[in-house]
Amino acid sequence: MAEKELLDQVRSKADIWLNSNINEESKQEINRLLESDETELIESFYKDLDFGTGGLRGIMGVGTNRMNIYTVGMATQGLSNYLKEQFWGNKEIKVAIAHDSRNNSRLFAEKTASVFSANGIKVYLFEDLRPTPELSFAIRHLGCQSGVVVTASHNPKEYNGYKVYWEDGGQIISPHDKNIIAEVKKIKGVDEIQFDDALKNVEIIGEHIDNEYLKELKKLSLNPTIIKNQKDLKIVYTPIHGTGVELVPKALKHYGFENVTIVEEQKPPDGNFPTVKSPNPEEPAALELALEKAEEIDADIVMATDPDADRVGIAIKDNNNKFVLLNGNQAAALLINYLISQWKNYNKLKGKEYIVKTIVTSELLKDIADKYDVACYDVLTGFKYIADIIKQKEGSMSFIGGGEESYGYLAGEFVRDKDAVMSCALLAETAAFAKEKGKTLFEELIDIYIEFGFYKEKLVSVVKKGKSGAEEIEQMMDNFRNKPPETINDSNVMLIHDFEKQKTLDQMSHLRYEINLPKSNVLQFVLKDGSKISIRPSGTEPKIKFYFGVQEKIENREDFEKIDHLLNEKIDNIIKSLGIEK
């Protein structure tokens, strides 16, 4: 599209907004853009903010391509229309709404409540910020048909988002995701939104739901006596200015941990996240203040939750008494191994138990499950698919736990999304259990490696911005799909899993097998030496992601550093073999 044509189109969309029923503040900002900021005008109006399979996420500001009360309102109007269509026979349709600490989150939550209310839908709105997993719990606890949490997870401070949940407490999946998108697209303008500023169908909720959630969380504890013995376990916790401050300290206290130090500088909820570049517990920089405090008090474990408290980063002391960050696979292995082994210890395994992991998560979790004859289900990337398995198996099998490599974990069935509050409590219990045996969590992890094999993982994201970048990513996927390598790092490619074609090709027998999962643009190569390489474009960012998993035998703790170095070299050689530019 020519630049003049694009600008004319953008000005036309801006004029439509100016002549619609928007507030004076928004009109003034649009006029400012029209008069003096052509670049920002284009960015704000050149397209409509996509309502994707999970909801909305974008930069805050005025315009059709921004997160604001009107794009949020249109999304909610479309969702309201779909709910009324789906549950037309219900005497009452109910939804729950929560929000995180981001700028404008409370405003967006209240406007969401206003639209639902205007459409005759009963709303339960949390009184203040609450973790995303509590929203998942509240939906089922209150018998709601849907729910919304206003959050942009760990995105930079300029962003906000809007995630939609269904009556099972999980994020929306097919067919509801596509059907809701279709309804949202039918809302063509601001004037189609119904608002109820009186909030006549809105009930404020808070402490009662907190208490019910914590009561269920306490039931997951497997060794309260050991916690009592190790109640002084030194825990450093940071909410990174997010919602975790509401429930994580309460959950730890509920479990019986009495020596919890909160990082004071990061305790106040603040959407500007002033002490970090990014409020992402996957990034070491986000844990710097917590690690300083941990070294100062000689802590046993460090925990950091993201702004909506559904993911947690963990740090523990290594063999040299230095704090190291665990990746998501390592934390998941520690947690799953603890849960299953203790279910076994207390004779809770009856042959109908299972765990769930995503296809890019470490195979170590499956090995642990296999030892105890516990089923392990693989699902596509995204915790909503783990929630869907729990829904499918409800009543026939018992869910022990699940996890994904991107720092999200869950146990029990009363929450249907990754839960950092729960994870903090259970990982603290795992640390207490290890300490009771005279071991550190690091030693516990190495012992898992000695038993099952030393698994090492790494994620490499290659950023390709703009239209040309998107085309380049598409071409890379086509090349790997249509001209797959026969060997990688001198190891034969044994299996090719193509989740887009829903087929597995056995390179040795040349037989093909069905993949019984939804279509997804993901490729996996499984090598003769046990290595696994997964490739997929990001659904939310201009990047292509490469997940590497390698393994090696390890016979004793003293060999850890040597084998760790060997596996790092192996991953580097695989990266070179594939010609990936980091």
The full DSSP string for 115-146 is HHHHTT-EEEEESS---HHHHHHHHHHTT-SE
Nearest C-alpha neighbor of 201 from the set 126, 114, 128, 135: 114
Concerning whether 491 is annotated as a catalytic residue, the answer is no
CA nearest to 476, candidates 461, 486, 489, 491: 461
Among residues 203, 188, 193, 164, the alpha carbon closest in space to that of 86 is found at 164
* Alpha-carbon span 405 to 363, nearest angstrom: 11
Other CB atoms within 10 Å distance of the CB of residue 508: 11
Q: Which residue(s) pair with 313 in the sheet?
A: 304
Q: Which of 153, 362, 423, 491 is catalytic?
A: 153
Cβ(515)–Cβ(502) below 8 Å: yes
Q: Please identify which residue in the block is written with the tokens 């990014």.
A: 278
The vertex-66 CA angle with 14 and 83, nearest 5°, equals: 105
Distances 229 to 166, 430, 432, 434, 520 between C-alpha atoms, Å: 41, 13, 8, 12, 47
Torsion angles phi and psi, residue 198, rounded to 5? -80, -15
Amino acid identity of residue 180, one-letter, is I
How far is the C-alpha of 240 from the C-alpha of 285, rounded, in Å? 11
User: CA-based angle 487:493:495, to the nearest 5?
Assistant: 165
What's CA 247's distance to the chain center, in Å?
18
The SS3 call for residue 249 is helix
| Cα 390 to Cα 131, 166, 341, distances in angstroms | 21, 14, 21
**Residues with active-site annotation:** 153
